[in-house]
Amino acid sequence: MTTAATQSRSSVRPLAGRVAVVTGASSGIGEATARLLAEQGAHVALLARRAERLTGHVARIEAAGGRALAVPADVADPASLTAAAERIRERIGRVDLVVNNAGLALPDLLGRGAESNWQRMIEVNVSGALSVVTTFTPDLIEAAADGGHADLVNVSSAAAQTVLPGFAGYAATKAAVSHFSRNLRAELSPHHVRVTTIEPGAIDTELRDHLGDPAISAAVEEAVGSLGDLPTGTDVAEVIAFAASRPRHVNLSLLSVLPTLEA
C-alpha cells in the first residue's frame, strides 16, 4: 500500500485499532460517541444500565460495519463496574480510550427533594466517575507504556464554571469532575496518558426529559428555547473523537461545546 493510500485510510478511520469504553452509552452524548468512535475504527464497549438500549445500538453499529459490545452495568455500583471491565478485557482486549460520560442532572431546590437528588448525583456523577477512572487507569497506563495512545475523556458540563439556579448539586458535581480531571492530568501525564475534559453547555439530548419536576422542566425548556438551535450529541462526539485522534504528544485538555447563543 502506498504512503498516500495509508494516510487516506488513516484520515477516514483515525481510531483504527483502538479499544474504547463509553459509559452512559444508552442515549445522548454517550450513544453518539460510541457510534462515531466505531465509525472511525475503534472497537467500542457500550456501558450503561439500560441493556435493551445497548443491544439496539450495538446492532446498528455492527450493521454499519463497526465493532461493538453491549455491557450492561451501573457506574455507581463498583462490583458491577469491575465485572463489566473483566468482560470487556476478555471479549475485546485492553482498553486505551475511556469516555467517562455517565451522569445525572436533577433539580435540587431546597425543600423539594434536594437531599435525595444531591445524594444520587454524587453517587453517579462523582463517585461513579472515580470508579470508572480507578477501574480502567491501569489499562491506560499499560497501553501508553507500550507506546500507544491512551486517553481518558471526562464529560463534565459548562455548569462547572457558572451559577445554575435550581441545579446547585448538579453544578457542584460537575465542578468536582472538572477539577478532578485537572488533578488527574497532573498525575497521569508523566505516564503519557492524556486527560481531556469536555464541558458541554445546553445540548439537544434526553437528559432534560428526566428532571421530574414539571415547573422546573418548563423553566428549563423556556431557557433552552431562547438559545435557538442546540448542538447535538453527535456534535459533542465529534469533539471527543477529534481529541482522541490527535498525535500522541498532543493533549487537548479542556474543550467547551456550547450553542452559539449561549453566553
Q: What are phi and psi of 79, to 5 degrees?
A: -65, -40
Predicted confidence at residue 158, as pLDDT, reads: 96
Residue spans of the domains in the chain: they are: 19-256
Grid coordinates 425543600 are at which residue?
Answer: 111
Grid coordinates 423553566 are at which residue?
Answer: 219
Burial class (CB within 10 angstroms; exposed 0-12, middle 13-18, buried 19+) of 33: buried
Q: What distances in angstroms separate CA 157 from CA 14, 79, 113, 154, 185, one per listed residue?
A: 26, 27, 22, 10, 18
Over the chain (263 residues), the average pLDDT of each successive run of 10 is 45 91 97 98 98 97 98 97 98 98 87 79 97 98 98 97 88 97 98 98 73 64 80 97 98 97 83
The CATH architecture one would assign to domain 19-256 is 3-Layer(aba) Sandwich (3.40)
Catalytic residues: 170
Q: Which residues, at least 6 apart from 222, have a Cβ–Cβ distance to it below 8 Å?
A: none
Predicted confidence at residue 6, as pLDDT, reads: 43
Predicted confidence at residue 254, as pLDDT, reads: 98
Predicted confidence at residue 224, as pLDDT, reads: 77
Query: What's the pTM?
Result: 0.91
Predicted confidence at residue 132, as pLDDT, reads: 98
Predicted confidence at residue 48, as pLDDT, reads: 97
